[in-house]
Amino acid sequence: MASPSRNIAKPTILPPGATAFLRQRFIEAAGIVIALAGIAIMLALISFHPDDPSLNAATDAVSRNWLTGPGAAVADILMQTMGMAAWLMPVTILAWGWQIAKHKGLGRAWARVTLLPIALILSTMSLAGQKAGAGWILNAGYGGITGDMLLAQAVAKAVSVFPVDAGLIALIAGLLALLALVGALGLSTAEWRQLGRWLLWLGQHGARAGAAGGRIGLRVGRWSLAAARGGRPDPLRREPRLLSENEE
């Protein structure tokens, strides 16, 4: 027979439901912190300059990176090693943070964490198969040092078995990288649809903003040309339209 003292609830400092509430807020805060880390990496990559002070460039110049010295160092390491594939890292981290903050969790977290570096490595190999343009800012190719090295090794080993070129290996690596990235993101069908709608909305509004900016720029240009000629018209005033004889 159980002792009556065991049935007595232990006194707690927090009121009922407070523990669950704090736990949910803690999970949301953790997701936000992870998402902010992804955004910070994005900002560092956007403002990357190869001449900024970093482990690869010893200079006394002031860092132009938006996140100053630490951002320049992180961006330099990522870009030098992975090239354009480095962008997959902040995108994935941002997606993870969003899922955690929304209490969706990271199902099979160990598999997703494992798939991310696989996707990054395969992406560097795929990008290394593309010839870098004249405006590329790094000495290595689009896949960084890692992509150039791994693709060269893969081609050397494959050629010893059967004839194959780097383009085919890069294509296969790209397809495998896409599969690994989808697994690392772990988005559901509904989330992919939501992401597609968001990208469509962003594209539409971006096109409208660009068209509006173009019209404004054209109007300002016409006004500047007329002002230079001495007419100085009002840029906001529309010129009256002359009626033809038929319209009269």
**pLDDT, tens digit (0-9, with 9 covering 90-100), for 191-215:** 788 777 876 786 777 667 666 766 7
Q: 47-80: per-residue pLDDT in tens?
A: 999 989 887 777 778 899 999 999 999 999 999 9
Whose CA is closest to 143, among 121, 169, 168, 165? 121
Asked whether residue 5 carries a pLDDT value surpassing 70, the answer given is no
Q: In terms of pLDDT, which residue wins out, 241 or 228?
A: 228
The torsion region of residue 105 among left (phi > 0), alpha (psi -120 to 50) and beta comes to left
pLDDT, mean of residues 106-111: 89
Give me the residue label for tokens 């018209």.
233
Would you place residue 231 in the very low, low, confident or very high pLDDT band (cuts 50, 70, 90)?
low
Asked whether residue 4 carries a pLDDT value surpassing 70, the answer given is no
The sign of the dihedral angle between the CA atoms of 125, 42, 186, 188 is: negative
Q: Give the whole-angstrom CA distance, residue 202 versus residue 160.
A: 48
Q: What is the pLDDT of residue 38?
A: 94
Give me the residue label for tokens 């190719």.
141
pLDDT, mean of residues 117-142: 95
The sign of the dihedral angle between the CA atoms of 123, 125, 127, 132 is: positive
Q: Give the whole-angstrom CA distance, residue 106 versus residue 31.
A: 11
CB neighbourhood size of 127 (10 A): 25
